[in-house]
Amino acid sequence: LKPAAHALFKKLKDEELELLVQVVESRGAWESSCVLAPWGDPRGVKQGLPPQVLLCRLFRWPDLHQSHELKHFCYCAGGQGVCRDLAVLCCNPHHFSRLAVPENLPPPFLKASCGPSWPDEPQHPSTQLLDSLSQSCPDKLWSPLPDTGLSWSTIKDGCWCQLAYWEYRTRVGRLYAVHEASVNVFCELPWGSGFCLAQLPAAYRSCAVQRARGKIGRGLLLSREPGGVWAYNRSEHPIFVSSPTLSPPSACRLTVLKVLPGYSAKVFDYEWAGDRGGWQLPGEGPCDPHSIRISFAKGWGPCYSRQFITSCPCWLEVLLNQP
């Protein structure tokens, strides 16, 4: 890649080279500007890699091959056709994520074909938390705050989603309403804004929760884009995502998608969800078709020893407002 990189660097302006150095050295710790490169293949290079593929392969993913494996961050204004100048495009390697794909490896903890059964009687419906209800812990059941109102018919402030942060079965802090098109959720994010989990107080945190919180770091970016919601993993550890639209209609349980660091996935599809009401999942009870659940660093489901997301130390619930 050395000849191709040198040919590309010669085409960049001095200020763009300086910005590229800062971005690479900081590993994308802050939301930087676009690094615009002229469209076209570097001369004398047999591979003919597009500029964004070349720099992403050089500084982030050596196994990257094609541009269709990449996706622009929502705040990148220099994507092809976005900056209204088809002669240039953004090649900032930290303005891109790789598209996550489901894993096809056999699960190490396959205990049931359609998920575990509840030990007690079926749970009552809930549109906020569907798999964490427990008759043995009635004091920790989630209940809506009277001054927030989570019913979709009562949301009148224009937010497209609300975020609830959980540690095991206990919700920590108040709901966070999202009005902008995208939001950062993080514990440590210099030069950024959004939902800072480090500011949420808790009376007691176990060692497992503290270890998991230490892995959140820059966390993730949730973005409402045409047709659905995307999640970009900005941390140094995987995140695990589940939503009704990640599973095929005939699925016997919700799919849990593993999103590696630097990867992104479309975690909710508005068209697929439509205006359907709640529906049932065998072994898990009622499911809200307009919610997303995201666990930091720890997975759950048939592939893991943790069968339910309420067994994960740190996780996020995204309550979507129907468009």
State the residue range of the domain holding 91: 1-99
Distance of alpha carbon 231 from alpha carbon 184, whole angstroms: 10
Cα angle for residues 284, 133, 203 (degrees, 5° grid): 140
Q: For residue 226, what are its two tokens? A: 């045409």
Q: Where does a domain end: 99, 119, 146? A: 99
For position 85, what pLDDT does the model report? 53
Asked if 173 and 31 sit in the same domain, the reply is no
Q: Please, what's the b/e burial string for 27-37 (b: 16 or more CB within 10 A of its CB; e: otherwise)?
A: ebbebbbbbbb
The domain boundary, picked from 99, 121, 138, lies at 99
In the block, residue with structure tokens 């293949």: 41
The DSSP result for 91-157, as a single string, is --GGGEEEEP----SPPTT---TT-PPPSSSPPPP-SS-SS---TT-GGG-----TTT--SGGG--S
Q: CATH code at 58?
A: 3.90.520.10
Same domain for 191 and 52: no
CATH number at residue 212: 2.60.200.10
Kindly provide the b/e burial profile for residues 41-60, where b requires at least 16 CB atoms within 10 angstroms of the residue's own CB: bbeebeeebbbbbbbbbbbb
Convert the pLDDT of each residue in 147-201 to its tens digit: 333 443 334 568 899 999 999 999 999 999 999 999 999 987 766 689 999 888 8
Domain total in the chain: 2
For residue 146, is it within any domain?
no
132: how many CB neighbours lie within 10 A of its CB? Answer: 24
- Return d(Cα 96, Cα 263) in angstroms, integer: 9
Of residues 117 and 259, more confidence is placed in 259
Rounded to an integer, the average pLDDT of 25-33 is: 81
If asked whether residues 94 and 167 sit together in one domain, one would say no
- Predicted pLDDT of residue 285: 62
| Lowest-pLDDT range of 75-79, 129-133, 140-144, 211-215 | 140-144
For the stretch 201-216, pLDDT in tens is: 887 899 999 999 999 9
With the C-alpha atoms ordered 254, 255, 258, 264, is the resulting torsion angle positive or negative?
Answer: negative
Give domain status of residue 216, yes or no.
yes
Residue 19, in any domain of the structure:
yes
Indicate the residue among 50, 73, 99 that finishes a domain.
99
pTM of the entire predicted model? 0.74
Q: How confident is the model at residue 249 (pLDDT cuts 50, 70, 90)?
A: low
Residue reference for tokens 């209940």: 143
Classify residue 191: in a domain, yes or no: yes
